[in-house]
């Protein structure tokens, strides 16, 4: 990657005469794009919006990456649809000296080695001036989805109480990090009947057992003692619900310096949905929130490509091994802890909240409030 990056020059100095040619070439691949006049206007409003990529030794740019640097109103307009993406309104765009609330990846055209230039632009957007701006994108293809996931984007955005599936985000500003709903806590029986939750009670454990029995024992004829192996009460479980019906599950166990994902199961009625993908993403997010840097797992050889989609790779020096009548390979994924990961520096109440509910006050905080009220009452009586 470093070698490829050295072969590409990146600049935000826009040559107006090159814009029509680049847009025409990109349009053949991407589809409808903004007009050259609009692109030039956006670049004149903020030079950091348009970046041109040129292979070393060549005189003309052959690719580009563009971004809309949005203020707070622009960020909201993007989500509610009032931002015109083909002709964005200046009132929603920041000037170069202003800190944006969001960086929307407008369009990119990076054939071949030019893709290495994207990292150079992202380095610019990691600078202090931009570091707290959320990075947002959209994708309408499986290839684009995979690219978003590889680059660390989370699928779906919460805005004004609605979950917007069509957006991808790298959340970075404190307001977003504090307000977002974790991907492992998106199910609510009344408000959000489709989503994922961490299992905290017996009824949900029964749902987990039902899903795994249907998939592993019913479909794959796995012996009972091999499926229910004595580790379920030493693990965290994620349960996926579709219209309040148990659809899939995942088991996570935690060791000294790594977490292990296992027992991913999705009922066959729900395998045309994105339940399996969402369970994996939610599991990785939970591991990040716990502060882990490495995830380990076993993949059936015929399912390895599915796990590689999320960044997992074969464990070095790992050899295939067999159990329950299938061949498996060891896989690992190196991750970065969440910016809000649990730590000893946290408020003590956060560390005693229910598993997977670290983002909301827990029952013991209510207890603490009750204790404070009792002390206030006692002090008041002594004052009389």
Based on the domain organization, do 73 and 161 belong to the same domain? yes
Of the candidates 287, 201, 203, 197, the residue with the CA atom closest to the CA atom of residue 242: 197
pLDDT of residue 370: 64
Domain range for 295 is: 195-341
Domain harbouring 32, CATH code: 3.40.630.30
Which tokens belong to 302? 């015929």
Based on the domain organization, do 158 and 202 belong to the same domain? no
Residue 187 belongs to some domain of the structure:
no
Q: Which residues of 264-274 are buried (b: 16+ CB within 10 A; e: fewer)?
A: bbbbeebeeee
Residue 186 belongs to some domain of the structure:
no
Based on the domain organization, do 145 and 283 belong to the same domain? no
Based on the domain organization, do 109 and 148 belong to the same domain? yes
Q: What is the pTM of this model?
A: 0.56
Going from the C-alpha of 182 to that of each of 22, 165, 245, 351, the distances in angstroms are 39, 14, 20, 16
Based on the domain organization, do 100 and 207 belong to the same domain? no
Based on the domain organization, do 23 and 161 belong to the same domain? yes
Based on the domain organization, do 62 and 211 belong to the same domain? no
What's the domain count of the chain? 2
Residue 235 belongs to some domain of the structure:
yes
pLDDT of residue 2: 46
Average pLDDT of adjacent 10-residue blocks, the chain of 384 residues: 66 94 94 96 97 92 96 96 97 97 95 89 91 89 70 78 82 76 88 91 97 96 94 97 95 97 96 91 96 95 88 86 85 92 92 91 75 56 55
Based on the domain organization, do 205 and 232 belong to the same domain? yes
Based on the domain organization, do 149 and 288 belong to the same domain? no
Based on the domain organization, do 62 and 121 belong to the same domain? yes
Residues in the chain: 384
Based on the domain organization, do 287 and 255 belong to the same domain? yes
């Amino acid at each position: 990657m470093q070698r490829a990056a050295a072969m590409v020059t990146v600049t935000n100095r826009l040559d107006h005469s090159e814009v029509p040619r680049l847009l025409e070439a990109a349009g053949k691949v991407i589809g409808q794009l903004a007009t050259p006049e609009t692109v030039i206007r956006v670049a004149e409003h903020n030079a950091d919006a348009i970046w041109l990529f040129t292979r070393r030794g060549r005189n003309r740019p052959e690719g580009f990456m563009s971004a809309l640097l949005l203020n707070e109103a622009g960020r909201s307009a993007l989500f509610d649809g009032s931002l015109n993406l083909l002709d964005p309104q200046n009132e929603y765009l920041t000037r170069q000296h202003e800190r944006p609330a969001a960086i929307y990846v407008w369009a990119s055209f990076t054939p071949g080695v030019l893709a290495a230039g994207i990292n150079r632009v992202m380095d610019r957007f990691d600078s202090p001036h931009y570091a707290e701006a959320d990075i947002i994108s959209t994708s309408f293809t499986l290839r684009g989805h995979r690219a978003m996931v590889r680059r660390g984007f989370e699928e779906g955005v919460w805005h004004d109480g609605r979950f917007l599936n069509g957006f991808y985000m790298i959340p970075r500003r404190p307001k977003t990090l504090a307000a977002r709903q974790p991907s492992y806590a998106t199910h609510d029986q009344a408000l959000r009947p489709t989503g994922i939750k961490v299992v905290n009670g017996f009824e949900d454990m029964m749902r987990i057992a039902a899903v795994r029995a249907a998939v592993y024992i019913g479909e794959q004829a796995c012996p009972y003692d091999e499926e229910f192996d004595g580790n379920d009460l030493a693990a965290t479980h994620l349960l996926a619900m579709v219209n309040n019906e148990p659809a899939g599950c995942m088991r996570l166990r935690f060791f000294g310096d790594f977490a292990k994902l296992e027992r991913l199961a999705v009922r066959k009625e729900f395998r045309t949905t994105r339940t399996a993908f969402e369970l994996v993403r939610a599991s990785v997010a939970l591991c990040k929130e716990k502060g882990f840097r490495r995830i380990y797992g076993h993949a059936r050889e015929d399912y390895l490509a599915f796990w590689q989609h999320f960044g997992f790779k074969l464990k070095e020096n790992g050899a295939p091994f067999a159990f329950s009548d299938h061949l498996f390979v060891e896989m690992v994924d190196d991750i970065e802890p969440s910016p809000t990961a649990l730590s000893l520096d946290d408020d003590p109440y956060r560390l005693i909240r229910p598993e997977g509910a670290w983002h909301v006050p827990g029952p013991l905080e209510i207890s603490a409030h009750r204790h404070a009220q009792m002390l206030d009452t006692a002090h008041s009586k002594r004052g009389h």
